[in-house]
């Protein structure tokens, strides 16, 4: 598929690809994401898109950093939406790179609403969301016949510091709870789950920079996870996983950050 680009009498309209880049390990990009990155003319990216993935962007592409600060989200988001439209109107193939999946806590919906309203063509390319990538690399299956029949993803970035999650629903038995953006509120989140009926001895894990050489996993219980995370000196981005499935990590952990975690090509071929 190729599309004319650049200015000209009948310049093709630009196009925006909203691309999920997965949780960090560049090997977790989809084939489509990798192809589009190689063809990009303008790339808008933020903090969580890993350096290794940015290294795949062609040297000829314009790179626009649109990292966000937590406090001034709304204004910044509008500016990003506008930038996407402006670059596409220049006839460019624009890539909006988003960590994980664009439609999971990624504001992807808001960005393409603007494109749609302005008549700019766009495509959405799904990515591996942090919950899936991080759980896999931490050796924690999100569901398991013996431990969890359901799994919920929530944001721990609580509006105005107030806790407005549906705690009763989260505290249900045989369910795994995955909390994005919860680092700053870890003690409050663990406390609220216990206050709404979860056992203080419920296993829980917090994973920093999952799937990357910087991955660190701290496990504990709802009663002591926050303390352990502080003692280990963890820093965002982190993902919190709460549920009995965390017990499985002891047996299923396989990823050694910094080591050669990839199976050799021969191993892949022999199982094909």
- Site for ligand SAH, rule CB under 6 A: 23-24, 48, 98-101, 104-106, 129-130, 134, 180-181, 207, 209-211, 236-239
Nearer to ligand SAH, 14 or 240 (CB): 240
In angstroms, how far is CA 116 from the centroid of its own chain? 24
Return the residue nearest ligand SAH (CB atom): 100
| Spatial CA neighbour of 157 closest among 185, 188, 187 | 185
The answer to whether residues 88 and 14 touch, using CB atoms and an 8 Å cutoff, is yes
Least CB distance to ligand SAH at residue 48 (A): 5
Nearer to ligand SAH, 137 or 147 (CB): 137
Least CB distance to ligand SAH at residue 179 (A): 7
In angstroms, how far is CA 19 from the centroid of its own chain? 12
Paired tokens of 20:
């999920």
Among 32, 46, 216, 224, the active-site one is 46
The conformation of residue 257, written as its DSSP 8-state character, comes to T
46 is catalytic: yes
How many Å apart are CA 228 and CA 222, to the nearest integer?
A: 11
| Spatial CA neighbour of 211 closest among 99, 89, 62 | 99
Nearer to ligand SAH, 175 or 185 (CB): 185
How many Å apart are CA 170 and CA 111, to the nearest integer?
A: 29
The answer to whether residues 61 and 43 touch, using CB atoms and an 8 Å cutoff, is yes
Least CB distance to ligand SAH at residue 220 (A): 17
Among 25, 32, 68, 244, the active-site one is 68
Least CB distance to ligand SAH at residue 209 (A): 5
Please state the length of the chain.
272
Least CB distance to ligand SAH at residue 35 (A): 20
Nearer to ligand SAH, 14 or 220 (CB): 220
Nearer to ligand SAH, 192 or 241 (CB): 241
How many Cα atoms within 13 Å fall on the side-chain side of residue 264? 3
Cα angle 195, 201, 206; round to 5: 90
What are the catalytic residues? 46, 68
């Amino acid at each position: 598929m190729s599309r004319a680009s650049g200015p000209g009498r009948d310049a093709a309209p630009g196009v925006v690809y909203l691309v999920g880049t997965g949780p960090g390990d560049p090997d977790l990009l989809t084939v489509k994401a990798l192809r589009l990155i190689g063809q990009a003319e303008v790339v808008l990216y933020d903090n969580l898109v890993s350096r290794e993935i940015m290294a795949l962007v062609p040297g000829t592409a314009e790179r626009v950093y649109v990292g966000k600060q937590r406090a001034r989200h709304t204004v910044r988001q509008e500016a990003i939406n506008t930038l996407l439209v402006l670059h596409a109107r220049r006839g460019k193939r624009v890539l909006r790179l988003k960590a994980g999946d664009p439609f999971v806590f990624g504001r992807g919906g808001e960005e393409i609403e603007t494109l749609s309203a302005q008549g700019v063509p766009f495509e959405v390319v799904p990515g591996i969301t942090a919950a899936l990538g991080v759980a896999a690399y931490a050796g924690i299956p999100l569901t398991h016949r013996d431990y969890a029949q359901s799994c919920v993803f929530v944001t721990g970035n609580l509006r105005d510091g107030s806790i407005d999650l549906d705690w009763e629903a989260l505290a249900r038995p045989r369910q795994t709870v995955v909390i994005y953006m919860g680092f700053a509120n870890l003690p409050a989140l663990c406390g609220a789950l216990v206050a709404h009926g979860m056992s203080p001895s419920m296993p829980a894990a917090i994973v920093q920079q999952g799937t990357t050489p910087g991955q660190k996993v701290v496990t504990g219980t709802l009663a002591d996870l926050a303390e352990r995370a502080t003692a280990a000196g963890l820093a965002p981005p982190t993902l919190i996983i709460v549920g009995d499935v965390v017990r499985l990590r002891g047996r299923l952990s396989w990823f050694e950050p910094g080591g050669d975690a990839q199976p050799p090509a021969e191993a892949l071929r022999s199982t094909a």
